Amino acid sequence: MCGIVGAYQRGGDVLPSLVEGLRMLEYRGYDSVGVGVIVDGAIAVRRRAGRIADLEKVLADGALAGCRIGIGHSRWATHGAPTDANAHPHSDASGRVLVVHNGIIENDKDLRAELEAAGTTFTSETDTEVLAHLVAAHLAEAGGDLAKALRRALAKVRGYYAIAVLHQDASGEAQLVCAREGPPLCVGAGTDGTYLASDSLAILPHTRDVLFLEDGEIAVLTPDSIRLTNREGEEVEREAQHIDWDAEDADRGGFEHFMLKEIHEQPEVIARCVQGRADLEAGDVRLDGEFFGDERLRSVERLEVLACGTALHAGLVLKYLVEGLAGIPVDVDFASEYRYRRVPSARATVAIGISQSGETADTLAALRKARDQGCDLIAICNAQGSTMVREADASILIQAGPEIGVASTKAFVGMIVAAYLFALRLGRARGSLSGEAVRERLGELQRLRGAVEALLAKERVEGLRDLADRLADQKGFLFLGRGINYPIALEGALKLKEISYLHAEGYPAGEMKHGPIAMIEPDLGAVVLAPMDGVVDKVRSNIEQVKARGGPVVCVGTDPACLELADDAVEVPEIGEWLSPILNVVPLQLFSYYVALRRGCDIDKPRNLAKSVTVE
Ligand code: AGP
């Protein structure tokens, strides 16, 4: 999760404001950092791979001290290694336009090609540098108005971004603007100037009255004023919000718990996991490494997924995706069982390890056994340098950023997106999916982020909190799902039990009559997943069976009849079968969070649990 800051002060030295602002954003995770200011009438930049302390060593020479306008950035590398050259800020060829950016320019390759064809030379691998050149290219026609030039440049951009742009024109006039489309961005006016940041925490030292930009808006900052305009360039008047957070919230980005912050980061995780991998034009998916090329994938006859806990549930979703989209059989095993089981030969099998940490002892042991059995190994993982990634033949990084809460949420969603991309690539390589079919599935993936954002809207979250408050004293819950949502029933139950300590069991809905229905009573009901799919009429009868025995039913899904039947309905956006697990799991994550909150549990560090189980 990158972070951006900026300031335009009446006087004094802007560097301390920028560096302290970046320090307040450290919770977002980063592996390079940089600042840019205007000194002696020119833009000066210092940026380093590494930590803020490394940057401070470079700033110690005082060359950038005493300026009153600047921008800063902390970067979590997704595409383009964490190097000095790839660190932000990035400038245009003249060095007069400087940009910092959090997010993704999805059409950066086309824009880069256009700019190169027009003679632009690039100095980094980043999509951000494209923005710097684009803004510079529009300055003249915008009459030197930076906000206008930025709006015109952004009209060409497809993506997801929070941007700050600094410009020093030939006359020495300085301008500072920022824009939002997706990732959060806020501005505030203090006694000594105006400030911008990805997160209000970085502004709090200057003011507690903060304006949050909405999508499509641009803010123009001067030392004495902030002017907001909307997508059409019209002036926007908006009341500042008074922020009560204090410094120790810094690590959690103002959220009460890491888990809640990480649930809210999921739209950004989806965008980052997809970035650079969805090739809409070719109707294909681009994964790093020749292992994911057509030839190697055509020789795969079976997949063996090995994982634990939440990662195993992602593996079960992968099973439905790969079998349904690529037509290859997939076995999924608890790593702790596989490692001790007598396993027949693994002819033409690829083992896929799924893990947030990449250090789970059972998963590593199972993968080593699979390799001994003759399997090649693929890692779907969040930790780039982890043991699992290093020992695999190929890997798909889920780009979820650091996940601190013990209960895994955003990494789970990242794992499913990675599994989806892998299934599409596998299906395309084997000819079970046409380019058009993949294009259609990638279209659904493009809608996913907005659908998850809708589920995280304030009023939706408050509805789930009310539901959790009402049901927090239940004796327990059955979570029921069918097909690709059966793993989500398992995951919903795991989330609830691991942070609220309530009894919860996930079951295939069809299994209810084979035993679990005996448990149903007024204080042990069911949470039922009901997407509109081929078996939804069976789900309706499951709901009727639970209600007939006095059990309360919460229904999460899209089917109107099921939602109508339930005591509590949580409707989710329609997205199609293959990605419905992600939309169904988000309400379950929030439900579990608020039940645990109501029960006063230690949500980020539940009793008896570790974030990564590196021992047996
Ligand atoms: C998830 O909420 C749990 N904390 C736990 O089940 C976890 O998924 C499991 O320990 C596997 O961890 P890994 O993804 O790091 O391998």
CB atoms within 10 A of CB 332: 21
Residue 41 lies in a domain: yes
Nearest CA residue ID for atom 7, ligand 1: 309
355 lines ligand 1 (CB under 6 A): yes
pTM here is: 0.77
383 vs 341 pLDDT, higher one? 341
Domain boundary among 456, 474, 490: 456
Question: Do residues 435 and 466 both lie within one domain?
Answer: no
CA distance 67 to 64: 7
Q: Is 614 within a domain?
A: no
Average pLDDT rounded to a whole number, residues 153-158: 95
Give the pLDDT of residue 44: 96
- Final residue before a domain boundary, out of 196, 215, 241: 241
Query: What's the gap in Å between 357 CA and the centre of ligand 1?
Result: 8
102 lines ligand 1 (CB under 6 A): no
Ligand 1 centroid – CA 135 distance (Å): 44
DSSP, residue by residue, 28-68:
G--SEEEEEEEETTEEEEEEEES-HHHHHHHHTT-TTTT-S
- DSSP single-letter state for residue 373: T
d(CA 241, CA 209): 5
Structure confidence at residue 24 (pLDDT):
85
Q: Is 229 in the pocket of ligand 1 (CB under 6 A)?
A: no
CA distance 205 to 545: 57
pLDDT at 248 exceeding the cut of 70: no
Residue 70 pLDDT level (bands cut at 50, 70, 90): very high
Show the tokens assigned to 131.
């923005």
Mean per-residue pLDDT for 182-188? 89
> What pLDDT sits at residue 104?
86
Tokens of 499: 């942070």
Q: How far apart are CA 316 and CA 484, in angstroms?
A: 8
Assigned token pair, 145: 């108005």
Check whether residue 310 and residue 280 sit in a common domain: yes
Domain count, the chain: 3
Q: Report the amino acid identity of residue 188.
A: G
**Any idea which residue has 């979570």 for tokens?**
479
Q: CA–CA separation, 330 vs 385, rounded Å? A: 27
Active-site residue list: 2, 611
User: Which pLDDT band, with edges at 50, 70 and 90, does 412 fall under?
Assistant: very high
Residue range(s) defining the domain that contains residue 71: 3-241
Cα angle value 105/110/114 (rounded, 5°): 120
Q: How far is the CA of 361 from the centre of ligand 1 (A)?
A: 11
- Cα 181 from chain centre: 15
Strands (E), 198-239: 209-212, 218-222, 225-229, 235-236
Half-sphere exposure of 609 (CA within 13 A, CB side): 21
Average pLDDT, integer, range 304-332:
97
Q: Quick check: CB of 311 below 6 Å from ligand 1?
A: yes
**225 CA from centroid of ligand 1 (Å):** 48
Region 515-535: what's the mean pLDDT? 94
pLDDT band at residue 613, thresholds of 50, 70 and 90?
Answer: confident
600 HSE (CA, 13 A, CB side): 0
pLDDT at position 386 is 79
The verdict on 261 and 151 lying in the same domain is no
Distance in angstroms (rounded) separating the CA atoms of residues 608 and 307: 20
Same domain, 50 and 148: yes
Peptide bond into 82 cis (omega under 30): no
435-492 confidence digits (pLDDT tens): 999 999 999 999 999 999 999 998 899 999 999 999 999 999 999 999 999 999 999 9
Using one digit for the tens of pLDDT, what is the confidence trace for 118-143? 999 999 888 899 999 999 999 999 99
Residue identifier of the C-alpha nearest atom 9 of ligand 1: 309
Q: Is the pLDDT of residue 218 over 60?
A: yes
- Same domain? 482 vs 421: no
Query: Looking at residue 131, which CATH number applies to its domain?
Result: 3.60.20.10
Atom of ligand 1 nearest to the CA of 407: 2
Please say whether the beta carbons of 9 and 69 come within 8 A: yes
3-state SS of 61-126? Answer: CCCCCCCCEEEEEEECCCCCCCCCCCCCCEECCCCCEEEEEEEEECCHHHHHHHHHHCCCCCCCCC
Once rounded to an integer, what is the mean pLDDT over residues 431-435? 97
pLDDT above 60: residue 322 = yes
DSSP type of residue 296: H
Q: State how far the Cα of 264 lies from the Cα of 410, in Å rounded to an integer.
A: 8
Give the distance (Å) from ligand 1 centre to CA of residue 402.
Answer: 14
Q: Which atom of ligand 1 is nearest to the CA of 310?
A: 8
User: Within a domain: residue 609?
Assistant: no
**Mutational pocket test of ligand 1: of 262, 316, 338, 360, the residue with most ligand atoms within 8 Å of the beta carbon:** 360
Is residue 213 located within the same domain as residue 98? Answer: yes
- For ligand 1, whether the C-beta of 387 sits within 6 Å is no
Instruction: Tell me the pLDDT tens digit for each residue of 42-64.
Output: 899 999 999 999 999 999 999 99
Cα–Cα distance, 180 to 162 (Å, whole number): 5
Q: Answer yes or no: is pLDDT of 385 > 80.
A: no
Ligand 1 atom at minimal distance to the Cα of residue 609? 4
Domain assignment present for 363: yes
Q: Are residues 537 and 424 in the same domain?
A: no
Domain assignment present for residue 53? The answer is: yes
- Give the residue among 71, 72, 36, 29 at the shortest CA–CA distance from 51: 29
Residue from 310, 313, 362 whose mutation best tests the ligand 1 pocket (most atoms within 8 A of CB): 310
Query: Are both 105 and 207 inside the same structural domain?
Result: yes
What is the DSSP-derived secondary structure letter of residue 579?
A: T
* Cα four-point dihedral sign 124, 4, 263, 228: negative
pLDDT (average), residues 29-37: 91
Mean pLDDT of 404-423: 96
Q: Relative to the CA of 388, which ligand 1 atom is closest?
A: 16
Look at strands 524-530 and 553-557 and give their pairing: parallel
349-374: average pLDDT? 94
At residue 247 the predicted structure's pLDDT band, cuts being 50, 70 and 90, is low
93 and 180 share one domain: yes
Segment (H or E) for 289: none
Would you say residue 587 has pLDDT above 80?
A: yes
pLDDT at 249: 58
pLDDT, position 254: 76
Q: Which of 317, 388, 408 to mutate to test the pocket of ligand 1 (most atoms within 8 A of CB)?
A: 408
* pLDDT, mean over the chain: 93
Q: Are residues 444 and 305 part of one domain?
A: yes
Tokens read off for 176 = 């500072």
Q: Is the CB of 493 under 6 A from ligand 1?
A: no
Is residue 408 within 6 Å of ligand 1 at its C-beta? yes
* Listed range (206-215, 278-287, 417-426, 440-449) with the worst mean pLDDT: 206-215
Give me ligand 1 centre to Cα 407, in Å: 7
- Does 462 lie in the same domain as 451? no
Residue 79: is its pLDDT beyond 70?
no
Residue 376 counted as domain residue: yes
User: Phi and psi (nearest 5°) for 448?
Assistant: -65, -45
Q: Do the beta carbons of residue 58 and residue 51 sit within 8 Å?
A: no
> What is the CATH number for 598?
3.40.50.10490
Residues 516 and 439 in one domain: no
Q: Which of 241, 264, 291 is the last residue of a domain?
A: 241
Atom number of ligand 1 nearest to Cα 307: 16
Nearest CA to ligand 1 atom 5: 309
How much distance in Å is there from the Cα of 10 to the middle of ligand 1?
50
Calculate how far, in angstroms, residue 27's C-alpha sits from the geometric centre of ligand 1.
21
| pLDDT of amino acid 167 | 96
Q: Quick one: how far is CA 385 from the chain centroid?
A: 19
C-alpha pair distances (Å), 339 with each of 300, 335, 364, 370: 22, 6, 9, 8
The per-residue pLDDT for 250 is 56
Residue 558, domain member (yes or no): yes
Residue 608 lies in a domain: no
Strand, coil or helix: 310 = helix
Does the structure show a pLDDT above 80 at 246?
Answer: no
pLDDT at residue 131 in the model:
96
Residues 6+ apart with CB under 8 A from 176: 6, 8, 69, 71, 164, 165, 166, 167, 196, 220, 221, 222
